[in-house]
Amino acid sequence: MSHHKQFYINGKWVEPKGDKTLDVINPATEEAVATIALGNKEDVDLAVAAAKSAFDSYANTSREERIALLERVMAVFQKRMGEVAEAISIEMGAPAKLSKVAQAPSGLGHFAAALEALKEFEFEEQIGKTQVVKEPIGVCGLITPWNWPMNQLTCKIAPALATGCTMVLKPSEVAPLSALLLAEILDEAGVPAGVFNLVNGDGPTVGAAMSAHPDIDMMSFTGSTGAGRQVMQNGAQTIKRVALELGGKSANILLDDVNFEKMVAHGVMSCMNNSGQSCNAPTRMLVPNSRMDEVAAIAQAVVAKVKAGDPNAEDTVIGPVVSKAQWNKIQDLITAGIEEGAKVVGGGPGRPDGIDKGYYVKPTVFSHVTNEMTIAREEIFGPVLSIIGYEDEDDAVRIANDTNYGLSGYVSSSDLERARKVARRIRTGMVHLNGAPLDNKAPFGGYKESGNGREWGHYGFEDFLEIKSIFGYHAK
């Protein structure tokens, strides 16, 4: 890949208008692996103009043409899957195994889900004498994060392509390599010039220019709640649609009838996955107060087996966190947990034993946490689990809902109907019952400060569509 210092605009790799650059740091080694150009408002203006110019033509392509395009994209993506996985491990530290089996394939999965949805999606509906038409919203600004880079790139790009929109992408400047690869894939697949454009840069410069741009009709942002607020404020200037997928502090309720050995272990490992850098991670484990010591002992034994280390090593379970800034934030929160009286049953401050380089965090579990503690309130975004006690089922639901976030939730019970009833009381956009996995055909998104709108599958089409009522269309 030779386009690190270029942007993809109007079907070509072009030189940036400014001269600012940024090193891409491998978090496992703390060494620069590439240098990217950082864009400015002029770069954004060029990309938006290209997307605007391409919109009329692409919006009028047929369903069949867009189906064929998605099929070509998938074929090229499949061919370059190994490169994508390698780039993700280098830029954000995911273990090679995770990159190969989850991080990179998630991209292909979203293209496949969008393709399937496109084949059946109802873009028109008759209501009496009126025809209701769903049309592409226009030029879309896409801003994506670093934690599951290909997943979040494709769950925006795939529906935009499927619905007939054009777009400008700003990937995370911390992990931009997989996005540059995806631009090469889209180019090779024959995405028409101007339909997809990429400008690297930071949020305050490129992100702000996009979200305030009068010719961008919709912003789709995934990232922190604080940054999401800024995108929404900037977008308000032009009354554009803003779709946000933000942070989480998801509760994992283990009801008193579960197999604690099994479900505590499952909860610990789910929290540690991807070094805890998942917005929907089950970071608050809620257990009966009477079982707290038992649960803590189980969790201690499980977390002791979570090896942090070289992403390319076979026995590595989790790699580093993405950056020095992220490492420092996690250390501060671990320290806060200790100072506020939570019990450390595994891990703690500092790097894991034997590691003196790289942004590695000790896999950490706290027990005897109260929901008022900082570690129970703030999104840590690292391999840190808080175990919180509850008195009864109503208390568990109260604690689960006592948060500013509402992205995901987890409920486990040996009685499925009981788990179903509790799930309906949780104020979140998603709930997993008894360890059920995600489904990329079902909607992904949250309540409250976890965002608005939904991504994935046919639900992910809606934010990219405008609705038009044509009255008298069916008049006799």
Q: Distance from first CA to last CA of the chain, Å, rounded?
A: 60
**How many residues are given for the chain?**
476
Tally helices (H) and strands (E) across the chain. 15, 22
* SS3 of residue 386 by DSSP: strand
Q: How far is CA 65 from CA 36, 111, 445, 446, 455, in A?
A: 34, 15, 29, 33, 23
Which residues are the active-site residues? 245
- Residue that the structure tokens 């769950």 belong to: 155
Give the C-alpha separation, 377 to 375, whole Å. Answer: 6
Contact between 180 and 35 under an 8 Å Cβ cutoff? The reply is: no
Q: What are phi and psi of 11, to 5 degrees?
A: 80, 10
The full DSSP string for 294-351 is HHHHHHHHHHTT--B--TTSTT-SB---S-HHHHHHHHHHHHHHHHTTPEEEE--SSS
Could you give the dihedral angle defined by the CA atoms of residues 90, 96, 100 and 101, in that order, rounded to the nearest 10 degrees? -130
What phi and psi values does residue 226 have, to the nearest 5 degrees? -60, -45
Sequence-distant (6+) residues with CB within 8 A of 305 are 317
Residues paired with 409 in a beta bridge: 251
Query: Interhelix angle for 177-188 vs 81-92, to 10°?
Result: 160
